[in-house]
Amino acid sequence: MSCRRLNTVRLMLSLFLFLGYSMFFARNSCHAQMTSERHAAFALLEHYETVLYARADFLSNSDEFGGMDKDSADTLRLPFQEILEGLKHSGTYNSMELMRNSDAVLLGAREFRPPAGLGAVHSKRCYIVILRGNNKQDIHKYFRRAATESLDGLQVWKWSAQLGEFGEDDASQPSTFYAVQIKRSYLLIANNRDDLRDVMRGLTSTENHEAILADIPDWDILSVHEVWGYRHIRRTGIFNEEVAGLSFVTPSIEVLSFFVDFKKKSSVVRILGSDMNRDTVPKINPAAEPPTFKWLAPGIWEAKIPFSENQAKYSPLLLILVRLGFGIHV
């Protein structure tokens, strides 16, 4: 074999090995990220009626995203604004820096109650920030102005901020946040200490969360998308149906799920219920208002909302957030 041909073979072999290692690490990194997100989803779905998920790059972007216009994207970012604003008062100079060092954020919400006067519906909330793979950044720098305390042997940061969370008639009441880092994978933030403890234990649990997630309707459909929401609707113990976003929702609906399909440039709403037959079209809004659902299978209905429809004066996305529990109370 000539020297020139030998060098060519060596070059090709080196390239092959490089690509192989790159693919190996990429697959493992992706698998680790998916495992972290699934574990976080399990921890929230176990305790909350509604769970929202968004990629961190979607939240850190202040413009249009993936073909979705800015107004529509900003609408879907609204439920996460509380924590992004709250972090600015913990010692974080720029909460978007944390988003840029993270993969995704999940939000769990329950016990929907009215604010005092005009304002957003109040709820018990917990956020799980999925830190970028094996992140070695100094999380402490985000909590320079927060007090510290201990919970189950872990350091917890606590701080307050006036964000208007409780409505315009009680604007001076501060919002309180608790945060804890779990390993190098998660930053957990809640607006009450008990929820922080419960979700923290879920994140550190060795329970088989894969088996539990397999029983969640639509999980396999939702989990592959960059923005999604899931609500297992409660019919008992509701403080107020209108505040909880259940006005006009067909009583037979048990699950409301939602995701954005950026490739197909549409948002998809799915509803599931045990008593929904093909001849009775369920609804989540007054009869004259969209979306209109199509029957897919027994107990499963779906509506697709093209991106173009969200640019109208009427915003279907805003009403979907209301049905998920993130409405404005007058």
In whole angstroms, what is the distance from residue 221 CA to residue 324 CA? 18
Query: Residue 21 falls within a domain, yes or no?
Result: no
Query: Residue 255 falls within a domain, yes or no?
Result: yes
pLDDT average, residue stretch 6-24:
40
pTM reported for the whole predicted model: 0.87
Query: Residue 23 falls within a domain, yes or no?
Result: no
| Number of other residues whose CB lies within 10 A of the CB of residue 131 | 24
The residue type found at 14 is S
Q: Is the pLDDT of residue 9 over 50?
A: no
- Structure confidence at residue 134 as a pLDDT band (50, 70, 90): low
What's the chain's average pLDDT? 85
Query: Structural domain tally of the chain?
Result: 1
Can you give the pLDDT at residue 207? 72
- Looking at 44-53, 116-125, 149-158, 268-277, which range is the least confident one? 268-277
Query: Residue 182 falls within a domain, yes or no?
Result: yes
Can you give the pLDDT at residue 2? 54
pLDDT average, residue stretch 244-250:
91
| Number of other residues whose CB lies within 10 A of the CB of residue 183 | 10
The one-character DSSP state at 207 is S
DSSP string of 236-266? SS-S-TTTTT-TT--TT--EEEEEEETTTTE
Residue (of 214, 223, 209) closest to 34 by Cα position:
223
pLDDT digits (tens, 9 = 90+) for 206-232: 776 777 787 888 899 999 999 999 999
Residue (of 83, 80, 74, 87) closest to 52 by Cα position:
80
CA distances from 204 to 48, 133, 294 (A): 17, 17, 41
Can you give the pLDDT at residue 329? 82
In whole angstroms, what is the distance from residue 301 CA to residue 224 CA? 20
- Looking at 10-14, 24-28, 164-168, 307-311, which range is the least confident one? 24-28
With a pLDDT cut of 90, the percent of the chain lying above it is 55
Query: Residue 25 falls within a domain, yes or no?
Result: no
Can you give the pLDDT at residue 311? 63
Query: Residue 8 falls within a domain, yes or no?
Result: no
pLDDT digits (tens, 9 = 90+) for 141-165: 899 999 999 999 999 999 999 998 8
The better pLDDT of the pair 193, 316 is held by: 193
184: which residues sit within 8 A by CB, 6+ positions away?
131, 134, 135, 136
Can you give the pLDDT at residue 74? 93
pLDDT digits (tens, 9 = 90+) for 175-209: 999 999 998 889 999 999 999 999 999 888 777 67
Residue (of 213, 227, 228) closest to 270 by Cα position:
228
Query: Residue 322 falls within a domain, yes or no?
Result: yes
Range with top average pLDDT, 28-32, 35-39, 82-86, 305-309: 82-86
Residue 225, token pair as written in the block: 């998308």
With a pLDDT cut of 70, the percent of the chain lying above it is 87
- Looking at 156-165, 254-263, 276-285, which range is the least confident one? 276-285
- Structure confidence at residue 93 as a pLDDT band (50, 70, 90): low
Residue ranges making up the domain that contains 176? 31-329
Can you give the pLDDT at residue 312? 54
Can you give the pLDDT at residue 1? 54
In whole angstroms, what is the distance from residue 181 CA to residue 137 CA? 12
In whole angstroms, what is the distance from residue 318 CA to residue 326 CA? 9
291: which residues sit within 8 A by CB, 6+ positions away?
269, 284, 285, 303, 304, 305, 316
Packed helices 3-45 and 193-203: angle between N→C axes, nearest 10 degrees: 140
